[in-house]
């Protein structure tokens, strides 16, 4: 996650950076000394969270916040100031939080728990991580899951795209072989599903799948996925979407229109 801290006083920037790192140790932090620099950094990076000083020379924090909200309406902005008088104006801009200086780690942690648009603080090492934007990937603890057959991985990708809805064997055959003669493939699909389950079991992740007779589905609450977070409105996931969805699968293109429409 990328974080932007803006304050015209160097000592305050450094102090704020230190406190933020206590709460978000894996975050990539950018520092800005004024509003213009903040806007430039924000425009060139995928910033998910902004700590913004209210009183700055030139463009003040409220003006900067307005510009940032125009650039990314769902960005989380936490205002920092030594004065309470700006609170009403900040909330009128639908700012995510408001902190009084001096700020410490406990204050930051509390504000993060009440953000309007919750943020991801890092991947759970005990959960399967599924990446849909760009090429589809399945990883655990930063290591890729190895599948014996490429179409086994494609089945997992399609169940991920279904977002918790079930798929039958016939539907999986249709997706994998795009309308080709399915009679001979119907028995082969069983071997692919077995291979997929074997690959997941090898890393202790077999419980993310559910099947009942002829139906298969992914337990979405058992995994971490950029696509699922996008649909929930997570700003970090929204920023990661670049108009690409499971590039290696032709059927993935059908989902792009729906994703694009949600950004309009």
- pLDDT of 141 reads 83
Judge if 160 and 243 occupy the same domain: yes
Q: Is 151 exposed, middle or buried (0-12, 13-18, 19+ CB in 10 A)?
A: buried
pLDDT classification of 182: cutoffs 50, 70, 90: low
Judge if 132 and 249 occupy the same domain: yes
In a domain, 172, yes or no: yes
Judge if 17 and 107 occupy the same domain: yes
**Does the pLDDT of residue 90 top 60, yes or no?**
no
In a domain, 91, yes or no: yes
Judge if 107 and 173 occupy the same domain: no
Estimate the share of the chain in helix, then strand, then coil, as percent rounded to the nearest 5.
45, 20, 35
The CATH number of whichever domain residue 155 belongs to comes to 1.10.10.10
- Percent with pLDDT over 70 in the chain: 86
Judge if 259 and 133 occupy the same domain: yes
Domain ends where: 48, 77, 112?
112
Taking the C-alpha atoms of residue 54 and residue 59, their distance in angstroms, rounded to an integer, is 10
Report which DSSP code applies to 25. T
- The two most distant CA atoms of the chain are separated, in Å, by 73
The CATH number of whichever domain residue 50 belongs to comes to 3.40.50.2300
In a domain, 120, yes or no: no
**Does the pLDDT of residue 235 top 90, yes or no?**
no
In a domain, 118, yes or no: no
Domain count, the chain: 2
- pLDDT of 133 reads 95
In a domain, 190, yes or no: yes
In a domain, 16, yes or no: yes
Domain ends where: 88, 112, 136?
112
Taking the C-alpha atoms of residue 6 and residue 16, their distance in angstroms, rounded to an integer, is 9
Judge if 145 and 257 occupy the same domain: yes
**Does the pLDDT of residue 66 top 60, yes or no?**
yes
Judge if 82 and 161 occupy the same domain: no
**Does the pLDDT of residue 95 top 50, yes or no?**
yes
Domain that holds residue 142: 128-263
**Does the pLDDT of residue 35 top 80, yes or no?**
yes
Q: What are the distances in angstroms from CA 181 to CA 133, 149, 173, 174, 189?
A: 31, 20, 9, 9, 13
Taking the C-alpha atoms of residue 112 and residue 108, their distance in angstroms, rounded to an integer, is 6
- pLDDT of 32 reads 95
Judge if 64 and 170 occupy the same domain: no
- pLDDT of 88 reads 46
Instruction: Render the burial of 57-86: b for 16+ CB within 10 Å, e for the rest.
Output: eeebbbebbeebbeebeebbbbbbbeeeeb
If you compute the radius of gyration of the chain from its CA atoms, what whole number of angstroms results? Answer: 22
Taking the C-alpha atoms of residue 152 and residue 147, their distance in angstroms, rounded to an integer, is 7
Higher per-residue pLDDT: 2 or 1: 2
Judge if 247 and 144 occupy the same domain: yes
Nearest Cα to Cα of residue 232 among 73, 118, 128, 115: 118
Judge if 40 and 67 occupy the same domain: yes
- Of these ranges, 97-106, 110-119, 148-157, 205-214, the one predicted with the greatest mean pLDDT is 148-157
């Amino acid at each position: 996650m990328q974080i932007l801290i803006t304050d015209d006083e160097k000592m305050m920037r450094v102090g704020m950076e230190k406190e933020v790192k206590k709460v978000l140790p894996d975050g990539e932090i950018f520092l800005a000394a004024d509003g213009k620099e903040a806007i430039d950094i924000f425009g060139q990076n995928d910033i998910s969270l902004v700590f913004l000083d209210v009183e700055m020379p030139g463009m003040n924090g409220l003006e900067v916040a307005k510009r940032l909200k125009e650039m990314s309406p769902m960005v989380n902005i936490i205002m920092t100031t030594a004065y309470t008088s700006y609170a009403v104006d900040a909330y009128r801009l639908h700012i995510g939080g408001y902190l009084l200086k001096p700020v410490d780690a406990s204050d930051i942690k509390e504000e993060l728990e009440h953000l309007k648009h919750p943020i991801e603080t890092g991947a759970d090492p005990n959960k399967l991580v599924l990446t849909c934007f760009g090429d589809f990937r399945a990883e655990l603890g930063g290591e890729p899951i190895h599948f014996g057959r490429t179409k086994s991985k494609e089945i997992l990708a399609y169940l991920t795209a279904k977002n918790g809805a079930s798929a039958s064997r016939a539907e999986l055959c249709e997706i994998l072989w795009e309308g080709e003669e399915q009679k001979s493939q119907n028995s082969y699909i069983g071997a692919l599903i077995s291979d997929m389950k074997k690959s997941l079991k090898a890393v202790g992740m077999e419980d993310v799948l559910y099947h009942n007779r002829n139906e298969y589905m992914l337990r979405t609450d058992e995994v971490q996925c950029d696509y699922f977070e996008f649909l929930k409105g997570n700003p970090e996931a929204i920023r990661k979407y670049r108009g690409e969805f499971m590039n290696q699968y032709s059927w993935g293109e059908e989902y792009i229109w729906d994703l694009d429409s949600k950004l309009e």
